[in-house]
Amino acid sequence: MTRPVRFIHAADLHLDAPFKGIDAADPRVRSVLVDSTYVAFDAVVSAAIEREVDFLVLAGDVYNAADRSVRAQLRFADGMRRLADAGVEVFIAHGNHDPANGWSARLPLPPSVHVFSHTTVERLVVEREGEPLCSLYGRSFGTAAETANLARGFVRQDGEAVSIGVLHANVGGDTEYEPYAPCSLEDLRAAGMDYWALGHIHKPSRLSDKPRVNYAGSPQGLNPKEDGEHGCLLVEIAGGVVSEELLPTAAVRWARLTVEAGALSDLEAVHDALRSACIEVAGEGDIPVSLRIDLVGRSEAHADLAREDGSGATALAQIVSHLRLDLMSRQPWLWVDRVRDLTSATVDLEALRAQEDFVGDLVRLADGVLADEVAIEAMFAEVIDPVRKKVGGSAVDLDPRTVLERARDLCLDRLLAEDGAR
């Protein structure tokens, strides 16, 4: 039986990602964030050395920008030298964030680092004791906006024990990501590889068992949406059987959750519920966490949450400040990045709907709108999406139905408050 092949598959390092637009007011959070892509990269390098793998595969987006920062290139070259000293070869297929035509300081890399051609699919053979161990096929992006189907250029040669494809690509038209190097799972199957080491999608995912097709995901989540576990894949191919394990590498974990405020009748109850939700999330791992919470539901605390102090800070904002002080002193710390107040007043919609007045009209009007999916989509395309594009940010990062329900509840809040004041 041939010797097993063991390697690490990583992708989307995005070295020197700036974490722009992430409002981490605390300097401890900022400093961990700006260093996090490097810490994760170093963890990938260390894993390759400690696990004594045959080689490391990097499936694109080593750098965050086509014009690679010098700092990132220096740190990358350091890592490549550590791997060379340990006898670990590296195979790189560049992607849309680090295409061949991007600026490079051309720092010399050890001869054990191989960058796949950007003009053709290149085949490189890894040897052990003079015998071929496996073949790697790969192709780099020439320019950032690579629109060609690069996967179709991959063809396994006859008589190979193990064949591995390395590519940065959008498989199956994932609309959350740029449509670069688009291809289908069928294209990948047709190439005859045993394993596809893909990059581009930042969430670790397996697209197919046989052949095994994996996105390694980014070793460090780059924004609040890239939550959950991030790492690199330790892959073993032995006797035609592929197995892999996700080795965690992230320096900080993003998390999102929803807290139901329906049963919370006052601000203290809200504080306590938020705090225990935070403690639970912190207990799920052993690295710092940046957490976003949506507070939802019809709650008796709704009006109090929006109550402002003399400086204009809402009660919820003050609760968040208090939680931050409390939770940043934990080891490892937890940063409450945001708590979004999506609560509404405790009104009896059924009763209001039956009323023969303006309030009743409003509820029934909203019912009509909410019942018509097509109209909702049209309204969004015409009115809300243009605003969303201009404004951006979390305030408009909601699904259409929630936006409309909140609009209805806001109107009801105002109308019912006026009624109460009369």
Structure token digits, residue 406 = 């909140």
Helix-then-strand count for the chain, H and E = 11, 15
Smallest gap from residue 169 Cβ to Mn ion (A): 11
Q: Which of residues 42-71 bind Mn ion (CB under 5 A)?
A: 61
Q: Which is nearer to Mn ion, 12 or 294 (CB)?
A: 12
Taking the complex as a whole, the smallest distance from the CB of residue 116 to Mn ion amounts, in Å, to 17
Q: Least separation, in Å, of the C-beta of 164 and Mn ion?
A: 20
Q: Which is nearer to Mn ion, 55 or 63 (CB)?
A: 63
Least distance CB 53 / Mn ion (angstroms): 23
Could you give the angle at the alpha carbon of 131 between the alpha carbons of 130 and 132, nearest 5°? 125
* HEC letters along 90-133: EEECCCCCCCCCCCCCCCCCCCCEEECCCCCCEEEEEEECCEEE
Is the distance from CB of 136 to CB of 93 less than 8 angstroms? no
Q: Which of 9, 12, 198, 359 binds Mn ion (CB under 5 A)?
A: 12
Q: Which is nearer to Mn ion, 40 or 320 (CB)?
A: 40
Residue (12 or 16) nearer to Mn ion, CB: 12
Task: Please answer whether residues 170 and 149 qualify as being in contact, where contact means their C-beta atoms are separated by less than 8 angstroms.
Answer: no
Q: How far is CA 49 from CA 3, 45, 53, 87, 412, in A?
A: 19, 6, 7, 8, 62
Q: Which range touches Mn ion (CB under 5 A), out of 8-16, 132-140, 247-255, 330-338?
A: 8-16
Q: Which residue has the closest beta carbon to Mn ion?
A: 61
In which element (H, E) is residue 226 found?
A: none
| 14 vs 212 by CB, closer to Mn ion | 14
Q: Least separation, in Å, of the C-beta of 12 and Mn ion?
A: 4
Using CB under 5 A as the binding rule, whether residue 146 contacts Mn ion is answered as no
CA distance 35 to 251: 8
Angle between helices 267-282 and 315-328 (to 10 degrees): 30
To Mn ion, the closest distance from the beta carbon of 118 in angstroms equals 17
Q: Which two tokens stand for residue 215?
A: 């996105």
Residue closer to Mn ion (CB basis): 168 or 212: 168
Stretch that binds Mn ion, among 11-19, 154-162, 187-195, 386-394 (CB under 5 A): 11-19
Nearer to Mn ion, 200 or 212 (CB): 200
The least CB distance from residue 182 to Mn ion, in Å, is 15
- Strand pairing partners for 171? 183
The residues binding Mn ion (CB under 5 A) are: 12, 61
